[in-house]
Structure 1
Amino acid sequence: MRSRTARTRESGGSGWRRSTRRTRSSSTCATGGAGCGPGRASRSSCGRPSAAATTIADTAYQNIHVIREHAPTELLVLAGNHLCRMNYARLIDEHRRRNADVTLAYMELPFADAGQSGVLSTDTDHWVRTFAEKPLAAANGHGAAERALVSLGVYVFDTNSLIDLLRQDASDPGSWHDFGHDILPAALAAGLRVLGLPFRDAATDDAGYCRDVSTVDGYWLANMELLAERPRLDLHDPAWPIWTPLSQLPPARFSGRGVARESIVCAGCEIFGEVRHSVLSVGCEVGAHTVIEDSVILPNVRIGRGCRIRRAIVDAECAIPDGTVIDAESPLTPPSYVSPSGIVLFALPPAGESGDSARRQAP
C-alpha cells in the first residue's frame, strides 16, 4: 500500500490535543504515557518502577494477542510524555529502506538537557552501537557540558523482533520492563540491527521541535513556548490541522475590565480579571481584580476575585477562593508542590486528606 503521512502534535497544558496518525495498514501505533498530567511513572526509591506503575513495554507485552490478531509488519511505539512535531512516515520508510529490526528517533542535545532519556552512540551509517539511560551514561564519563545523542522515545520495531524481546523481558525478574532501560539494550545485545535517525522538522528539514513534558518544569515551559510571537509549534498552522473533536462551547467572553495579553484563552472561558502571558484551558472563569501571569490553567477552573497567580500550573476542576495567592515567592501560597525552577503545581488534595499539610518542595 502506498505510504501516507503519519504525524502528531499534542498539548496537554491548554486542554486540547492535536493528533493525526495516518499510517500504512501494515503498521500499528502503540502509545504510552506516565499517568495524568505532568509527572513520570511512579518509581521506587531505588529508581525502578514501583509495583503500581505500568510501563509501555509491560502494556505492549500484555497486548501481544492483539498485535498477533492485527498482524502488522511493524509497530510504531510512541512515548506519551513528549510534545513533538514529527512525521512518522519518514521513520517507517527509512526503517524499511535500511532493513532495520529497530529504528529510533534522536536529537543532539547538551547532555545536561537529556533528563532521564536514553543516550546513544552511532557509527557513520547511523547504526546504533551503544544505548544507556542518562544515569548510566553519566557514570561512564559524560560531562554536563557535552552534547549527546538523546532518544525521543519514538521507535519502529519489526513485529516479530519486538514480540521476542517482550517475552524475554517479561521472564526477567530483574527487569524494569522499560523500553529505554531494558528493551533497547537487549536488542543490541541480541545483535539486532538498530538504526538511529536524527529528528528533522517535517516542513523545514531543520532540527525538529520536541519537548519532554514529563516533569512540571518541562510541561510549563512547553506551554509558555506556545505564546511566542512565532512559536516553533504553531497551533494556527493550516498545514498541521487539529483533527481531534473538540467540545462545542461558546467563545471566550471578556466582561468589565477583563483583559488578556500575550495569552491563549480557550472556548467557554469568562474573564473578569487580567490574564498575562498565560494559557487558559476550556471553561475557566477568572474573577474581577484577579491577575494571572506566566501560568497554565487546566480545564474548568473557577478562580475567585482578587487572586494573584504567578508561574503556576493549576489542576483541572479547582475552585480557588477569593484573595488566594499562588506564587512560589509568597508565603501566602497554600500547601503545594514547587518544582526545582519555582513552578507551583496547585491541585485539590486527594479525598480524605486536608489541605493543611506541610508545603512540599522538590527533592
Structure 2
Amino acid sequence: GDHIYKMDYSEMIQDHIESGADATIGCIPVPVEKGPDFGIMEIDESRRIVNFVEKPRQPAPLPDDPQRCLASMGIYVFNAPFLFEQLCRDATVPGSSHDFGKDIIPSIVHTHNVRAFPFRDKNTGDGRYWRDVGTLDAYYEANMDLVEVRPELNLYDPAWPIRTYHPLAPPPKFVFAQTDGPHPRVGHALDSMVCAGCIISGGRVQRSILSPYVRVNSWAAVDDSILFAGVEVGRHARIRRAIIDKGVRIPEGMEIGYDLERDKARGFTLTKSGVVVIGRVDNLDELDRTAQTAQPSVAAESEEQARPP
C-alpha cells in the first residue's frame, strides 16, 4: 500500500467483534483542506458511521473541531459472510466502479452497523502517525520525517521491529578527515540515515537518506535528499531536495535542485513543492549538455579552475 503507520490490527479486530459491527473502518483526523484527498466520514456518539463520502469537495468538519475532518485510513474489518454478500451485490450494480470507498462503503452506512475505529499510535497510545504517500511530495515528506531529531515514526523501537530485507553489506564508511589546507576534505553525515554499504568519501551529507551502496565522493554535498541504492555522486556535485533512483551516476560538478528551470530542461520531474526527481538514466552528462545553453562566463571558468582536482 501507499500508507505508512504502525498499528496493532488485533485491537481493531477485537473492537469489531465486541461492538457487533458488520464492518469497521480505521479513521484518523486530518486538516479540512486535505479532506478532498480521502474518504470522509461522519460519526455519532457511539462511533457509528452515519455518512461517508469519497473525496468530497467540501469535507464535513468534526463537530468539536471545525479545522479537521475524519478520514478513512483504508483499513477495513468485515464479517466474512457480510463482505461476500456486499461484493456480489455490487457486482450487479450498473455503473458501479466496484470500489470500497466510492461504492460499497457509502451503500451500507445507512442500512447496516458500520463503525469507526480511531487510530492509536503503538508507541504512545495517543499520538498518531499516519502518512498517505500516494504522491511524490508526500513520499518525500514522509522520508524527511525520519531524519528529525525525534521522529514521530520510531524505527529504533526494539519492541516493534521492522521486518524487511536487509542486504548482507558492510557497515557504512566515512573516510577523509583533512580539516586543514585550502580545500578541506571531510567525509561526514549530519541529521541523516546512512544504510549499509555506503561510502562517504570526503563528501558532506545533511538531512538526507542514503540507501545501501551509495557513494558520495570528495567535496560533493547532498542536502535534504533521498538517494536510492547504488547512486554515485561525483566530486564537487551538489544535490538539494531531490529523489534519485537506483544506480544513477551524478557526474562531477553537476548541480541538482539549485536551478529548477535547468533541471526541468534536462527532463527531470519536478513536484509541486519543487522536489527534483531523477529516474534511471544512462547518461546524465548528455542530458546536461543538451539542456545547457552556450553562455560561458569568466566567473564560472575561474571557479572551475579554483577547484581542487
How far has the Cα of 1:168 moved from its partner? 2.9
Residue 215 (1) aligns with residue 144 (2):
no
Which residue of structure 2 aligns with residue 343 of structure 1? Answer: 275
Amino acid at match of 2:221: V
1:127 alignment counterpart: 48
Alignment of 1:67-78 (within 5 A): none
Please, which moves more after superposition, 173-182 or 243-252?
173-182
Query: Does 2:185 align with 1:255?
Result: no
Code of the aligned partner of 2:144: M
Contact 1:305 1:323 in 2 (8 A): yes
Matched, 1:271 2:200: yes
Describe the shift of the 1:203–1:330 C-alpha distance in structure 2 as closer, same or farther (beyond 3 A).
closer
1:284·1:300 contact (CA, 8 Å) conserved in 2?
Answer: yes
Q: Is the 8 A contact 2:61 2:70 kept in 1?
A: no
AA aligned to 1:342 is G
The reply on whether 1:159 has 2:75 as its aligned counterpart is no
Match of 1:305 among 225, 235, 247: 235
Give unpaired runs (5+ residues) of structure 1: 1-79, 359-363
Q: How do 1:176-325 and structure 2 match up within 5 A? A: 176-188=97-109, 191-256=111-176, 257-272=186-201, 273-325=203-255
Q: Give CA-to-partner distance per residue, 1:303-342, whole Å, 9 cap, x none.
A: 2222111111112222222222220644442322211111
> 1:262: Cα distance to partner?
0.6
Cα shift readout 1:257-278 (whole Å, capped 9, x = no counterpart): 2110110000011112110110
Identity between Structure 1 and Structure 2 (%): 39
The structure whose RCO (Cα within 8 Å, separation 6+) is larger is: 1
Query: Contact conserved, 1:328 with 1:338, CA < 8 A, in 2?
Result: no
1:100 Cα deviation from its structure 2 partner: 1.0
**Larger relative helix fraction:** 2
Partners of 1:199 and 1:208 within 8 A in 2: yes
Task: Name the counterpart of 1:5.
Answer: none
SS at match of 1:92: helix
State the secondary structure of the residue aligned to 1:86: coil
- Once the 2 structures are TM-superposed, how far is the Cα of residue 115 of structure 1 from its aligned partner? 5.1
- Is the 1:119–1:137 contact (alpha carbons within 8 Å) kept by the matching residues of 2? no
Which has the larger Rg?
2
Matching residue's letter, 1:259:
H
How many angstroms does 1:192 deviate by? 2.3
Residues paired across the two proteins, number: 272
Contact 2:36 2:58 in 1 (8 A): no
Structure 1 runs, 4 residues or longer, greater than 4 Å off:
354-358
Q: CA deviation at 1:355?
A: 5.6
